[in-house]
Chain A
Amino acid sequence: MKNAVENVSRRAVLAGVGSLLGAGCLGAERTPGTSDTDWRMYGCDPGRTRFVPNASLPRDGVDIAWERSVSASGWYPPVVANETVYCQYSNGLFVLDAATGEGTRASTYGPFGRDISPMAFASTELYRDGVLVVPYGTVIGGYAAGRDGWPDSVSGIGEERARWWLDGDSTSASRLPLRASDGEWLGSPLTVDGTLVSLHPRSATLSASDSDDGSNRWRFDLETVAADGYVASPVGHVVDTTTGTVVVKLRTRREESAIAVPLLVGISSENGSLEWRTTTGEVSSGDTNPGVEPADSLTTRDGTVYTIDWDTSSRALRLRELDAATGELGWTKSLDRSEHIGVAVDEARLYHVGLVDREGAPETFRIVALDRNSGSRRWVETIDGAPVVPRLPYGAPPTVADEHLLVPGRRGLHALDRGTGETLWTFTEMAPTSGGGSVERSGMTPAVVTDDRIVIGTTLMLYGLE
């Protein structure tokens, strides 16, 4: 088994020497190079901000640039790199040209792409095409990503295209045994400059690995941050590139106790050392809203972290601000929502999407824009056509791109002016039903924006919109 982690500093030195010999001497750069049109991981960037500043989208409606139909949805969020869209659904993987929609649909007949969390993409020094990162719970596979190399069908777990496997404890070029875990999408892998930052729920570890061979750079045992007698369960993570901090959200609980203690920890992305830890208050399991913590309840940008949890006393969602460098708590904003769907953040504002009242108004969801400095409200809008289920894969988080806030819903995709909240357009298409009628295609993935294209998975159809 390659690279069992024993001594981080020695490993780091050896890895450095190896990289110097293997790559540095050859003057290799990581390819494919990053660009403004990339959406390489769940949440768009390491902070999961879902913000694409340099996009170019129409204000008066979108047209269909291309479409690919499927017989079963089961979409996972698309990723885009090197002008290529990778999008997994129930029975296959699309590898498409982002502009034209042309490319391969690799049908899958085994565990490849099933029961995974969202994929990610990383550049590599050794390989031209980078690596497609597929997380199977605790075990993560790194696959050759080249657009033109994908066959029409992938059997088994696609070992023919796999370069490495890792599970947080070890790395192997041979497939590691897959084990079920409760991994949340918020814990899907992040890529930062050729380093893969991954959360492994089963072993409660956070690890940083090289995208070329999956070798371990550092590893942090998250059990060590829980108070004595408590067990830590990782929920998700983000990376604040401004401060070089990996922020991990955990749920700690005394064994067989009904009291859970949410915990946020800051870990250096450079060497994996613990920088800070902050608790946000105890939550009785009877009062816990199970849909809140796992679903995209963490984001960070420019040294500030935003987390959403359930306030037991007010029985409402609560947005909290933290300093990414110190973990110090800042402002708190209570939101009168029954369910959390997602959050996005741009230079000045934070956008939250949630359900107002699942019991009383199940069709309605509300979007609010908050000032990042003070937490004060800038605008709020209510829209009909809420997702059937607020959590993914039926209720997708929002995207901020160009002047738009894009919100998937039961009726398709809504576009709002991010400055004012004004509705700009709604993209709705109909799908035929077996009874001879038709039904609106629901937005089932986040709206992934790449340049002037919006890629979104809907009911039985993947769209490229322009």
Chain B
Amino acid sequence: MSTPNDSNDGTPTGTEPSQQTADNAPVGLIGLVRITIVLLRARPSLLVPFALAGAVGATSAVARIESPYPVDMVAFPANGVVHLSVALVPALEPMAEVNSGLVLGLKPAFLAVLIGWQVGLALAVTVAFAGVVRLATRSISKTDAISSTSATSEVGADGSRGLIPGLVPSPARLGWLFAYVLGVQIVLLAGLFVVGAFGIGPGPGPRSTGLGLLFGWLFVVVPIASGLFLTPAAIVIGGKRPIEAVIESGAYAVRRPFSVVALLLATGYLGTVLTGVFHGGPSPRIGVALGTFTSVAVGGTLHATVVAAAYVCWSADD
């Protein structure tokens, strides 16, 4: 396992690591939560990248409603149904729900527009994720995992006090992250097409439908998503290519399955819950815009921060 930032295409900008004494202790789930809180209190500017991405997402969601594409916008709570979302990367349209019928039979021009739309969203996620990582990594310290949140005062004037002296993701890393995010989107779209084209779905009867979905979610979706959870951080911070990053992320998921699953579900669920902040407002479109913005700005920032913190700390542990 390589240490973060040992690749040639990352650009160190800060000082050498300064928290060596406390960095020998392994960091668990609670420690990561503490680190995330400390980071956000120390650097409110961490919210900026995903706030901008949230504006993009809100605009995109409203445009999606007005477009002829059949897409649903569902806010929390949705008709009493509990949505247990999992997010491989922060979703810019967390309220959007699509089904397999969307992609079946699309004319080439509209398929191209749809893919272009997803490419644009993937680009916005990439830039925002890299922005959060750049701001967060220089301040990630394992001291925060075991000390009180008052440790924020320890952040220096230049913000550099963490395990990693600071990181400006190179264009190459951004490119690989973009490729990964886009790949995830395309795989999901292709999955929808396969489901629709080949009639793959739950068996007949409400019982088998519910059980099939539950088992599929528990034993297929969650394990795969857990294995991929740290992939973006492995690309941007670790400097890995996507396949290497997937393997490394999977290794972390195997070593810390409970922590990864808990973070995966917590970040996904938080993103969903925040969509309902403006539920029942005067206008569905305003509700969609504000819910999307809030979910992306807060949920996306937390997601990116905790992924970066987990990768940095667990890399240091190893």
Given A1, A129, A160, which contacts B74 in the complex, CB threshold below 8 Å?
Answer: A1
Residues of B within 8 A of A18 (CB): 63, 65-68
A163 with B68: CB separation less than 8 A: no
- A61 part of interface (Cβ distance < 8 Å): no
Residues of B within 8 A of A379 (CB): none
Given A1, A14, A146, A153, which contacts B72 in the complex, CB threshold below 8 Å?
Answer: A1
Q: Could you tell me the distance between the alpha carbons of A212 and B114 in the complex, rounded to whole angstroms? A: 14
Of chain B, the residue at the smallest CB distance from A108 is: B204
Given A2, A19, A151, A162, which contacts B101 in the complex, CB threshold below 8 Å?
Answer: A162
Residues of B within 8 A of A110 (CB): 204-205
A19 with B68: CB separation less than 8 A: yes
A128-B105, A129-B105 as given contacts; A28 in contact with B110, CB under 8 Å: yes
Residue of A149, A154, A156, A163 contacting most chain B CB atoms (<10 Å): A163
Number of interface residues of B (CB under 8 A): 38
Q: Could you tell me the distance between the alpha carbons of A172 and B110 in the complex, rounded to whole angstroms? A: 20
Chain B nearest CB: distance from A235 CB in Å?
30
- B290 part of interface (Cβ distance < 8 Å): no
- B106 part of interface (Cβ distance < 8 Å): yes
Chain B nearest CB: distance from A215 CB in Å?
8
Given A26, A129, A159, which contacts B201 in the complex, CB threshold below 8 Å?
Answer: A159
Residues of A within 8 A of B106 (CB): 126-128
Chain B nearest CB: distance from A246 CB in Å?
23
B199 with A144: CB separation less than 8 A: no
A162 with B110: CB separation less than 8 A: no
- A38 part of interface (Cβ distance < 8 Å): no
Chain A nearest CB: distance from B214 CB in Å?
15
- B11 part of interface (Cβ distance < 8 Å): no
Of chain B, the residue at the smallest CB distance from A14 is: B66
B70 with A6: CB separation less than 8 A: no
B107 with A160: CB separation less than 8 A: no
The 8 A CB mask of A264-306 against B (1 = contact, 0 = none) is: 0000000000000000000000000000000000000000000
The 8 A CB mask of B191-210 against A (1 = contact, 0 = none) is: 00001111111111100010
A15-B66, A18-B66, A22-B67 as given contacts; A156 in contact with B104, CB under 8 Å: no
B65 with A3: CB separation less than 8 A: yes
A129-B105, A151-B198, A151-B199 as given contacts; A173 in contact with B205, CB under 8 Å: no
A26 with B109: CB separation less than 8 A: yes
Q: Could you tell me the distance between the alpha carbons of A84 and B205 in the complex, rounded to whole angstroms? A: 30
Given B74, B105, B109, B201, which contacts A174 in the complex, CB threshold below 8 Å?
Answer: B74
Residues of A within 8 A of B283 (CB): 6
Residues of B within 8 A of A22 (CB): 66-69, 110, 113
Q: Could you tell me the distance between the alpha carbons of A49 and B245 in the complex, rounded to whole angstroms? A: 65
Residues of B within 8 A of A210 (CB): 68
A149 with B105: CB separation less than 8 A: yes
Residues of A within 8 A of B68 (CB): 18-19, 22-23, 125-126, 210, 212-213, 215
- B318 part of interface (Cβ distance < 8 Å): no
Number of interface residues of A (CB under 8 A): 49
Residues of B within 8 A of A154 (CB): 199
- A439 part of interface (Cβ distance < 8 Å): no
Q: Could you tell me the distance between the alpha carbons of A210 and B65 in the complex, rounded to whole angstroms? A: 13
Q: Could you tell me the distance between the alpha carbons of A2 and B96 in the complex, rounded to whole angstroms? A: 10
B105 with A127: CB separation less than 8 A: yes
A144 with B196: CB separation less than 8 A: yes
Chain A nearest CB: distance from B311 CB in Å?
35
The 8 A CB mask of B93-105 against A (1 = contact, 0 = none) is: 0000111111011
- B73 part of interface (Cβ distance < 8 Å): yes
- B284 part of interface (Cβ distance < 8 Å): yes
- A390 part of interface (Cβ distance < 8 Å): no
Residue of A17, A142, A151, A161 contacting most chain B CB atoms (<10 Å): A161
A28 with B71: CB separation less than 8 A: no
Residue of B65, B70, B74, B104 contacting most chain A CB atoms (<10 Å): B70
- A214 part of interface (Cβ distance < 8 Å): yes
Q: Could you tell me the distance between the alpha carbons of A114 and B109 in the complex, rounded to whole angstroms? A: 35
Q: Could you tell me the distance between the alpha carbons of A163 and B203 in the complex, rounded to whole angstroms? A: 20
Residue of B68, B99, B106 contacting most chain A CB atoms (<10 Å): B68
Chain B residues 272-291 with CB under 8 Å of chain A are 283-284
Residues of A within 8 A of B66 (CB): 14-15, 17-18, 21-22
Residues of A within 8 A of B70 (CB): 142, 163-164, 173, 212-214
Given B98, B197, B200, B204, which contacts A149 in the complex, CB threshold below 8 Å?
Answer: B197
Given A145, A153, A173, A212, which contacts B99 in the complex, CB threshold below 8 Å?
Answer: A173
Chain A nearest CB: distance from B242 CB in Å?
30
A2 with B67: CB separation less than 8 A: no
A26 with B113: CB separation less than 8 A: yes
Chain B nearest CB: distance from A23 CB in Å?
6
Residues of B within 8 A of A125 (CB): 68, 110
Chain A nearest CB: distance from B299 CB in Å?
22
Chain B nearest CB: distance from A191 CB in Å?
16
Chain B residues 17-57 with CB under 8 Å of chain A are none
- A4 part of interface (Cβ distance < 8 Å): yes
Q: Could you tell me the distance between the alpha carbons of A144 and B107 in the complex, rounded to whole angstroms? A: 13
- A220 part of interface (Cβ distance < 8 Å): no
Q: Could you tell me the distance between the alpha carbons of A215 and B196 in the complex, rounded to whole angstroms? A: 21
Chain A nearest CB: distance from B200 CB in Å?
7
Chain A nearest CB: distance from B293 CB in Å?
18
Chain A nearest CB: distance from B189 CB in Å?
15
Residues of B within 8 A of A155 (CB): 199, 201-204
The 8 A CB mask of A118-130 against B (1 = contact, 0 = none) is: 0000000111110
Residues of B within 8 A of A66 (CB): none
Q: Could you tell me the distance between the alpha carbons of A159 and B65 in the complex, rounded to whole angstroms? A: 21
A153 with B199: CB separation less than 8 A: yes
Chain B nearest CB: distance from A266 CB in Å?
29
- A425 part of interface (Cβ distance < 8 Å): no
Of chain B, the residue at the smallest CB distance from A153 is: B199
Q: Could you tell me the distance between the alpha carbons of A212 and B101 in the complex, rounded to whole angstroms? A: 11
Residues of B within 8 A of A26 (CB): 109-110, 113
Residues of A within 8 A of B67 (CB): 18, 21-22, 213
Residue of B67, B71, B198 contacting most chain A CB atoms (<10 Å): B67
A146 with B73: CB separation less than 8 A: no
7 contacts between A and B (CB under 8 A): A1-B72, A14-B66, A153-B199, A160-B196, A161-B199, A174-B74, A213-B69
Nearest 3 pairs of A and B residues by beta carbon? A151-B199, A18-B66, A163-B101
Chain B residues engaging chain A, CB cutoff 8 angstroms: 63, 65-74, 97-102, 104-107, 109-110, 113, 195-205, 209, 283-284
Q: Please name 10 further chain A to chain B contacts, defined as beta carbons within 8 Å, in addition to the given A127-B107, A143-B101, sorted by A numbering.
A: A1-B74, A19-B68, A21-B67, A28-B110, A144-B104, A153-B199, A159-B201, A160-B196, A163-B99, A173-B71
